[in-house]
Amino acid sequence: MVDYIIVGSGLAGIAFAETLLQNDRSFVVFENHSQNSTQIAGGLYNPVILKRFSQVWNANLQLEVAHEFYRNIEEKLSVSLDFKIPIYRKFCSVEEQNNWFAASDKPNLSPFLSTKIVTKKYNGIDSPFGYGEVFETGYVDTALLLQYYHDYLKTNHWLIENSFDYSGLKILESHIEYQNLKSKHIVFAEGFGMHSNPYFKYLPLDGTKGELFIIKAPDLDLDVIVNTSVFILPLGNNLYKVGATYNWDDKTSIPTTQGREELIDRIKEIITCNFEIIEHFAGVRPTVKDRRPLLGTHPKHKNLHILNGMGTRGVMLAPAMAIDLFDYIETDKPLEKAINIRRYESLF
């Protein structure tokens, strides 16, 4: 018997697996292939919502937990994953500058927003109104994280490379059984694939499709992440990750002509130099309308749990949420009402 079965091996599943290892619990992970949002994620972490100049919920705690989480994995697997790099919010008007200064005066935002306008000129970008610098930002190479962590799980025989068949799950009073496995608990961390899960599909997970590019732009000379209507993230060797679109209707992971054209138009609004599209990705983010994750235990089955709804901020959210769910299951430490799936019990 193991302590846990984890279904899903994206950011949420990895975060929970790592939390179990830190607490000497045994587990196996099913590599649920239903979604690829972690694989194609932008990977940015940023404590400020730059559209509205407001702080991300619980940003300080999330950043602290996330940095320790990625640092531990980097040391264990001898790989660099967490790249600390400033985000520059490009201003399009004097009004935007004024809104920035008003936001930087707020106590909860002042640690994260510079009060000086950055006037540095970058080749290939026209920026007459300058930039605002955001502190405590960077990105995680999520594709590399998946590659290295999956290899680590395989080496230790903790990864099962099969899709999970819900009809094969047997729920008993003291444990659950699946095929030849017995486990005290099962945690579903499937992202948008939750819609196929008969136990949790009642929850209002509203997936948002995002499309991204890798572009090559030899004449663009960026050493920071630039954010306006899209982000431009330097990867080295004249390569940049650019994204992302938001589509609430299309729930497929297939790149579209519409998404391609939208990204091209937005890139041309920001950079004045030529670029070549090297790769085009798409994935569905597991978003929730109230912008809070979905954590907790099934209303009827005490051994079935969920870790989902990380949305666009999985890199920041997943490590802290994994710890919260573990503490809730193991020590009955209450979950915040804002993230507990009990808030949707009336839908069950």
- Please give the Cα distance from 99 to 220 (Å, whole number): 28
Q: Please report how the helices 59-77 and 11-22 are oriented relative to each other, as an axis angle in degrees rounded to 10.
A: 80
In the chain, which ranges are continuous DSSP H helix? Answer: 11-22, 37-40, 59-77, 94-104, 142-155, 257-270, 314-331
* CATH number of the domain bearing residue 253: 3.30.9.10
Predicted TM-score (pTM) of this structure: 0.94
Q: How far apart are CA 90 and CA 267, in angstroms?
A: 13
Neighbours of 75 (CB within 10 A): 9
CATH number at residue 23: 3.50.50.60
Going residue by residue through the chain (348 aa), what tens digit of pLDDT does each one get?
999 999 999 999 999 999 999 999 999 999 876 556 665 677 999 999 988 888 899 999 999 999 999 999 999 999 999 999 999 999 999 999 999 999 999 999 999 999 999 999 999 999 999 999 999 999 999 999 999 999 999 999 999 998 899 999 999 999 999 999 999 999 999 999 999 999 999 999 988 999 999 999 999 989 999 999 899 999 999 999 999 999 989 988 899 999 999 999 999 999 999 999 999 999 999 999 899 999 999 999 999 999 999 998 999 999 999 999 999 999 999 999 999 999 999 998
Give the residue among 9, 162, 136 at the shortest CA–CA distance from 62. 136
- For residue 79, how many C-alpha atoms fall within 13 Å in the half-sphere facing its CB? 16
Residue 13 structural domain:
2-43+143-203+290-347
Number of domains within the chain: 2
The reply to whether 56 falls in a domain is no
Q: In this structure, is residue 50 part of a structural domain?
A: no
Burial class of 227 by CB neighbour count within 10 A (0 to 12, 13 to 18, 19+): buried
Please, are residues 8 and 162 in contact by the beta-carbon 8 Å criterion? Answer: no
Torsions phi, psi of 115, nearest 5? -95, 5
**Is residue 215 a part of any domain in this protein?**
yes
Residue with tokens 């945690």: 187
Q: Among the three residues 270, 285, 300, which one is the final residue of a domain in this structure?
A: 285
Residue 105 in domain: yes
Residues 197 and 216 in one domain: no
Cross-strand partners of 234:
240
Q: Is residue 65 part of a domain?
A: no
Burial class (CB in 10 A: 0-12, 13-18, 19+), 41: buried
